Chain A
Amino acid sequence: MTKILDIQNLTVKFGEFTAVDNITFSVEKGEIFGFLGANGAGKTTTIRALCGLVNISSGKMFIDGKDVSKNTKELKPRIGYMSQKFTLYQDLTIKENMIFSGALYMLSEKESIKRMKEVFEYVNFKESPDEMVKNMSGGSKQIVSLAASILHNPEIIFLDEPTAGISPVSRKLFWDLISKLSSDGKTIFVTTHYMDEAEYCRRIAFMQNGRIVALDSPENLKAASKASNLEEAFINFLDKK
């Protein structure tokens, strides 16, 4: 397996506050890598740092062997990022949003629409492309949002709490899509606080106060802390610290 993401001693400070505190880990190509932790544990900041959206204080980040801080421009087309905030335009239709998102990655209108149809077919998404985004349900919004992030066929996809606040049925649908993407060879980096979702990941990292307190496959983590489920494992690890 090749390391597609390699993070060494990453630290991000906002003034006096240390959001990410000297973390080191790597992600392999094609795996689903999960980040778990409470709000403010530093998950979002790590993702934003990897996407080149915040200035890092120290450490190194490599995507496919290339230094992120130096090759931001070159790497951006190779990653897809779905923010925790809703990043589609509410006053545009699904199609209009897709065309615009595609254009940001130099896709033509035709290509964007073709890709949109592919993705929607993939997950059996039924809404009309001419529907206004503001009129859609929370679950549909997240699907469309993900679709917009992968239009340009990125190798690595960063998903920041993609399933927060949507119904269990939609969450299931959403994770089906993620699994499919992974089986197509995409690397998925996802944060969540749903423990049941973490089971879909090949490996997960528990984060607390900017640090990684544990990193392994779900089975190993459960075994190591002698817990019957991930939630228990998580609590056990936090207690140790």
Chain B
Amino acid sequence: MIRFSIIKAFFKKEIVQTLRDKKMFAMIFVAPIIQMTLFGFALTNEVKNISISVIYSPHDVLARTIETRLLESGWFVQGKTGNETDHSKILSERKAEAVLVMPSQGFLKEIERGDAKIQLLVDAVNPQRAVQVENYVKNIIAQTVSQEFKNTSSGLALPIDLNVRILYNPSLESSFFMIPALFGFILCIFTVMLTGISLSKEKESGTFEKLISSPVTVWEILLGKTLTYSLLGFIVALSMVAGAYLLFGITIKGGLLKFLLVCSIFIVSSCSVAIFISTLAKTQQQAMMGSLLFLFPALLLSGLIFPVENIPAYAQWIAYINPLYYLLEALRNIVLKGGDWVVIAQNCIPLALIGFALLLFGVKKFNSKL
């Protein structure tokens, strides 16, 4: 039995308590803004801003063209050079991330002679980046050479013309990828952390005794609590949708309705997580620790920081029990691509299952006795 008036009373009480606490207020409304600017503007792991130093003899026109093309490509920035003969020193002193050493006799001349040798040194501390740097350099050299030898039978002209069409995010802005995920992350923090802490706060102080001595049911207590924080989460998520539009020009392609549908299913799951945590925690501190123990891996294995598909196969199951993973998949699809129903279903069904399982377990364990 769930009585609406009791849920309403809980809701009023929680809202007053939350908004009266200045620290809490700040955490709720300032933290998301900081996170959004951080994730939107600062955090990209695309390969760009590669500092490169090109070394060539002063009269080598073709090498100069290559250098210009590199710098114009948008991926590279000019690195520093030294006057060392050992070019690897440029890398170890971190003056550049890559050094391209062109043939000393002039590139064109050596190609025509048929034995041009170019050396590329790359800082491979980040291997993925290093290989991508190598690819970019090679592509630009190949295209420059191809153009130089256009309409010749030298075999240097490329026989294939690539026509690239980029969809959904033509300017390759990583904020487009990050922000939808961030909606999910904030929603997750809200529901898990705030619900968990507020439940254990009642337990730690005596107020819980008062609740269970009165004729309210476990479901009423849990619903009263979770509804409030879910709603706060919704409000913040919606204000972030507005912020994402104003700051980054991101709109929800699939419409607000699909967005809210997925969010509400997720909220049920993450509230179940919170209830589950608070059945185990006796104090606020333990609840806090518990939520962190959930949030840290959930964040890391959600696809927010690196793609889940890269996780070694034996560990991928961890991502597949992570509610945040499904939420991010669905939200990114809805925000960027319009939200295909197949994708929504694929993600919402596991999400609902996880939520349902945890909820049953949590409510069963959430004792109405001391």
Q: A residues bordering B, Cβ < 8 Å? A: 48, 51-55, 73, 76-77, 79, 81, 83-92, 96, 99-101, 103-106, 108, 148-149
Contact = CB atoms under 8 A, between A and B. Distances in A.
Contacts of B117: none
Nearest to A152: B214
Contacts of A52: 213, 369
B17 A91 contact: yes
B9 A54 contact: no
A55 B214 CA distance: 16
Between A92, A103, A106, the greatest number of chain B beta carbons within 10 A of the residue's beta carbon is seen for: A103
A100 B206 contact: no
Interface string B169-185: 00000000000000000
Nearest to A96: B16
B370 A48 contact: yes
A53 B215 contact: no
B370 A54 contact: yes
A89 B207 CA distance: 7
B216 interface: yes
B65 to A, nearest CB: 70
Contacts of B210: 81, 83, 87-88, 101, 104, 148-149
Nearest to B367: A55
Between A91, A100, A108, A148, the greatest number of chain B beta carbons within 10 A of the residue's beta carbon is seen for: A100
Contacts of B369: 52-55
Interface in B179-215: 205-207, 209-215
A86 B209 CA distance: 9
Interface of B: 3, 5-6, 8-10, 12-13, 16-17, 20-21, 205-207, 209-216, 369-370
A240 to B, nearest CB: 33
B9 A99 contact: yes
Given A54-B370, A73-B215, A100-B12, A106 B5 contact: yes
B209 A53 contact: yes
B276 to A, nearest CB: 22
Given A106-B3, A106-B6, A89 B17 contact: yes
Contacts of A51: 213
A105 B220 CA distance: 12
A134 to B, nearest CB: 11
Given A54-B369, A85-B205, A103-B9, A92 B213 contact: no
A68 B94 CA distance: 77
Given A77-B215, A104-B214, A106-B3, A85 B209 contact: yes
A103 B209 contact: no
B16 A104 contact: no
Contacts of A92: 13, 16-17
Contact of A83 (B9, B12, B213, B215): B213
8 contacts: A53-B213, A54-B370, A55-B369, A79-B213, A83-B213, A87-B207, A104-B216, A105-B215
A81 B8 CA distance: 23
A45 to B, nearest CB: 10
B21 A76 contact: no
Nearest to B8: A103
B345 to A, nearest CB: 39
B166 to A, nearest CB: 52
